Amino acid sequence: MVDIAQYLIDCKFILVSNREPYEHMHGSHGDIEVKQPAGGLVTALDPTMRRTHGTWVAWGSGTADHEVSDELGRVSVPPGEDCYTLRRVWLDESDVNGYYHGFANRALWPLCHMLIQHFEFRTEYWERYRTVNLRFAHAVADEAERCTGRAMAWIQDYHFALASEYLRAMRPSLFVHQFWHIPFPPADILRLLPIGTYEALLRGMLGNDLIEFQIDRYAVNFLDCVDKYVSEARVDHARQTITFRNRVVSVGAFPISIDAENFASMASSKESTARVATLRDRYARGDRQLGVCVDRIDYTKGIPERIRALDTIWEESPELRERFTFIFVCTPSRTDLPAYNSLERDVIQSIMATNTRFGTPDWTPIVLINENVDSDLLAGVYRAADICIVSSLQDGMNLVAKEFVACQVDERGVLILSRFTGSAEEIDGAMLINPFNVDGFVAAIHAALEMSPEERKRRMHRMRRQLNNSTIFDWLGAILGRATEIMGMHAQPVTA
């Protein structure tokens, strides 16, 4: 494993994200519980923060967060170990509605995924987004102020497109970089924001010294947008740099990954092995096969398109009824937004309709697990499956595809993967689909079901090898390596 801390010697590390790594919640007996949200980012960055004793700035969203933090919102974490500082930024209901549910999730999220039928802009959302970005910038500047040596701020995601510009005005010499987890749209889509807003968004992002995207295409889209809409910026497309306000901003592709070893070991545990045997005995005896998919219920993930493809295959090929079962693991997401609620209702109704149409007393075509599942349970389901379908309409990377590959320790499964995911540009060995093309999607499921064990093994083996050479630690090492390299160049005296 790459020792990430090596990049941060003598440099205070300030991480910024919307979600916090530890949430203090009021328990049912008047006590306070600490929750660590599941998810790759926290899992990967928490050990780095522990070792580097940095500061993590995030929205204090827990019901008991106020009680355990000081007057500046600071608290030492992990509780009892006190390795690093969590600096909480407080948001009231209007902030959350405008900044988070509003501009971030109703405007930027659909726009970046090019699903413009969901795009909604309100001036109030934008104003709150600006206010909250400014509040975060103040918190980061204050944290940087506390250290005597160098400091580096690393901002996560589309919630903070403006924070780096504000920070730059407060602390001109602070090194600031940002990882953009979702796609970046082409110029014709970005301009659906009001005139003035999309230029402000781009100028905001140009407050960074380095902007990291998942794949090169998103970086290219960003450079094109800056070229078209920020008249005072000079874009060098070949070098992927932008000269802006006498500074050079670098842009690049840094595909995120997972802790592949950890997933493989969860999938190989004694409990998982027993779970795999039970699942296969129930769903994949003889020539029957088991399919799986795992998602947050989000309109970007192509869930209705997937149900339609399965429905079509059982409709058109009656001989395949009872021959394969699909486990749908989907967790409700962003339930404060109407589009997400109605999608969840539609997904449940269509699964019930498919099950009613084709199910028999002995066979349920789609087994729905509508909840958040522990990752060790997930690892067992991934390992047991013969097929995994990822059918996103657009997706920055998609970690489910990588988790499935990591957990396929028996190398029996086929990955059917949307060509509109970042993963599709990285993983070589999946069956690529266009989820909008019903017949192509159905043909891919047919081909996957019929693929020989040798071919499956060959493809899966290749994908596993690639994944093991490109884990989340390689991703972190590549980003911090590039950031410290640029930081070093900034520190050198300029010679005429």
* Contacting residues toward ligand ADQ, per CB under 6 A: 40, 181-182, 256, 294-296, 329-331, 372-373, 378, 395-400, 403
Q: How far apart are CA 264 and CA 254, in angstroms?
A: 23
- Residue 277, H or E segment: helix 270-283
Of 82 and 271, which has the nearer Cβ to ligand ADQ?
Answer: 271
Least distance from ligand ADQ to the Cβ atom of residue 274, Å: 20
As measured in angstroms, the least distance from the Cβ of 485 to ligand ADQ is 23
Within 8 A by CB and 6+ apart from 402, the residues are: 257, 258, 260, 423, 427, 467
CB within 8 A of 400, min separation 6: which ones?
A: 293, 294, 295, 388, 390
Q: How far is the CB of 416 from ligand ADQ (least distance, A)?
A: 15
CB under 8 Å to 241, separation ≥6 — which residues? 235, 248, 249, 250, 251
**How many residues can be counted in the chain?**
496
Q: For the CB of residue 326, give the shortest distance to ligand ADQ in the complex, in Å.
A: 14
User: 331 with 372: CB under 8 angstroms?
Assistant: yes
Looking at beta carbons only, is 254 or 314 nearer to ligand ADQ? 254
Nearer to ligand ADQ, 264 or 294 (CB): 294
Q: Is 230 or 267 the residue whose CB approaches ligand ADQ more closely? A: 267
Tokens of 442: 């159905």
Q: Locate 366 and state its tokens.
A: 């789609």
Q: What would you report as the CA-atom Rg of the chain, rounded to the nearest whole angstrom?
A: 23
Q: How far is the CB of 395 from ligand ADQ (least distance, A)?
A: 4
* Minimal distance, residue 396 CB to ligand ADQ, in Å: 3
What is the biggest distance separating any 2 CA atoms in the chain, rounded to whole angstroms? 82
State which residue, 255 or 429, has the beta carbon closest to ligand ADQ.
255
Strand ranges (DSSP E) for 62-121? Answer: 74-77, 84-89
CB nearer to ligand ADQ: pick between 313 and 400 = 400
Give the contacts of 489 (CB within 8 A, at least 6 positions apart).
Answer: none
Q: Least distance (Å) from ligand ADQ to the CB of residue 142?
A: 28
* Distance of closest approach, residue 256 Cβ to ligand ADQ, in angstroms: 4
Give the 3-state secondary structure of residue 300.
Answer: helix
> End-to-end alpha-carbon separation of the chain, Å?
41
CB proximity list for 332: less than 8 A, separation 6 or greater: 296, 297, 340, 344, 370
Least Å from the CB of residue 417 to ligand ADQ: 12
Q: Are 267 and 303 in contact (CB under 8 A)?
A: no
* Of 51, 93, 88, nearest in space to 68 by CA: 88
Q: Is 298 helix (H, G, I), strand (E, B) or coil?
A: coil
Whether the ω angle into residue 365 lies within 30 degrees of 0, i.e. cis, is: no
- What's the closest the beta carbon of residue 11 comes to ligand ADQ, in angstroms? 24
Beta-carbon count within 10 A of 105 CB: 21
User: Quick one: 183 or 235, whose CB is closer to ligand ADQ?
Assistant: 183
